[in-house]
């Protein structure tokens, strides 16, 4: 249903809806103007974060990352931030991190989206692409396609109560192991980990917290998919309890 249809069906809310739309368009217009005026700076960064539907409390994190990531040490070498994008999709988060001067490790199991990402970042040495899914162990599994098709953001490796169909085999890697063996030895610390992995986040977070790897990561932003499971609320409650027990104040469960 479009906006005009909503107004026709809900006349008492017409004025409120119109004002809301005007405010949204005004804010978005200002972001576009700032991005055009400041294409290499914070103006464009704000527009990119808005486009990524990034909750506002993350904006300051990336403002700081932009400053540090584009700063230079006394020997003229940029202070690179390190980000991990699990569930890369079309690179919306990766683009934000790159704008902040980061090196980004991207994991995307969808073979069609991975081909898109390969083409998009083919000349960018700061993007390390992996056509793999992530979890808490290494194995092979079937990639599951939801009702919205091959390019849906809801495609996944986790069996759920929602309707899916098997598509093709994908490799799954242990994210904690990868971080310990391939990232921390090179970079010592990770600035930001984004987890949008359609249900695998519960296993991954249990592994990260259990091995205290969250202490090596500045911020962990996780979208939870408890709706995929019959015991989803229990999984979420257990994760929140683990976060509290570890006093992991750098873990957020509100990614969209």
What confidence tens digit (pLDDT) does each residue in 17-67 have? 544 544 555 677 888 888 999 999 999 999 999 989 999 999 999 999 999
Question: Could you please report the per-residue DSSP string of 216-236?
Answer: GEEEEEE---GGGSTTHHHHH
The torsion angle over the Cα atoms of residues 158, 199, 180 and 240, rounded to 10 degrees, is -140
First-last CA distance in the chain = 22
Q: What mean pLDDT do residues 138-154 have?
A: 65
> Can you give the residue ranges of every domain in the chain?
1-37, 53-252
C-alpha 241 chain-centroid distance: 23
d(CA 119, CA 125): 13
Task: Work out whether strand 164-174 and strand 139-146 pair parallel, antiparallel, or are unpaired.
Answer: antiparallel
Instruction: Give the whole-angstrom CA distance, residue 194 versus residue 218.
Output: 11
Q: What region does 219 belong to: left with phi over 0, alpha with psi -120 to 50, or beta?
A: beta
Q: Are 70 and 101 in contact (CB under 8 A)?
A: yes
Class for domain 53-252, per CATH? alpha beta
Who wins on pLDDT, 105 or 167? Answer: 105
What share of the chain in percent tops pLDDT 90? 61
pLDDT of residue 73: 52
Three-state secondary structure call for residue 13: helix
How confident is the model at residue 162, as a pLDDT? Answer: 47
- The mean pLDDT value for 109-121 works out to 94
Distance CA 46, CA 70 (A): 16
What is the helix (H) or strand (E) element at residue 57, kind and residue range? none
pLDDT tens sequence across 226-248: 887 888 899 999 999 999 999 99
CA distance 89 to 207: 23
User: Residue range 96-108: average pLDDT?
Assistant: 96
């Amino acid at each position: 249903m479009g906006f005009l249809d909503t107004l026709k069906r809900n006349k008492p809310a017409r004025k409120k809806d119109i004002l809301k739309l005007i405010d949204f368009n005004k804010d978005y217009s200002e972001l576009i103007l700032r991005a055009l005026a400041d294409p290499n700076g914070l103006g464009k960064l704000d527009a990119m974060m808005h486009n990524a539907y990034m909750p506002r409390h993350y904006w300051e994190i990336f403002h700081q990352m932009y400053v540090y990531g584009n700063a230079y040490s006394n020997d003229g070498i940029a202070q690179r931030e390190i980000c991990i994008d699990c569930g890369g999709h079309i690179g919306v988060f990766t683009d934000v991190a790159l704008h902040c001067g980061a090196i980004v490790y991207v994991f995307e199991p969808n073979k069609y989206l991975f081909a898109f990402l390969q083409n998009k970042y083919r000349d960018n040495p700061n993007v390390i692409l992996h056509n793999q899914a992530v979890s808490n162990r290494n194995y092979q599994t079937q990639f599951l396609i939801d009702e919205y098709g091959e390019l849906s953001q809801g495609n996944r490796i986790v069996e759920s109560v929602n309707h899916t169909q098997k598509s093709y085999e994908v490799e799954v890697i242990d994210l904690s192991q990868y971080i310990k063996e391939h990232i921390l030895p090179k970079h010592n610390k990770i600035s930001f980990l984004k987890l949008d992995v359609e249900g695998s986040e519960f296993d991954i977070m249990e592994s990260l917290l259990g091995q205290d790897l969250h202490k090596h990561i500045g911020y962990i932003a996780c979208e939870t998919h408890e709706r995929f499971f019959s015991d989803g609320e229990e999984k979420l409650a257990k994760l929140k309890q683990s976060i509290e027990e570890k006093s992991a104040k750098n873990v957020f469960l509100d990614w969209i």
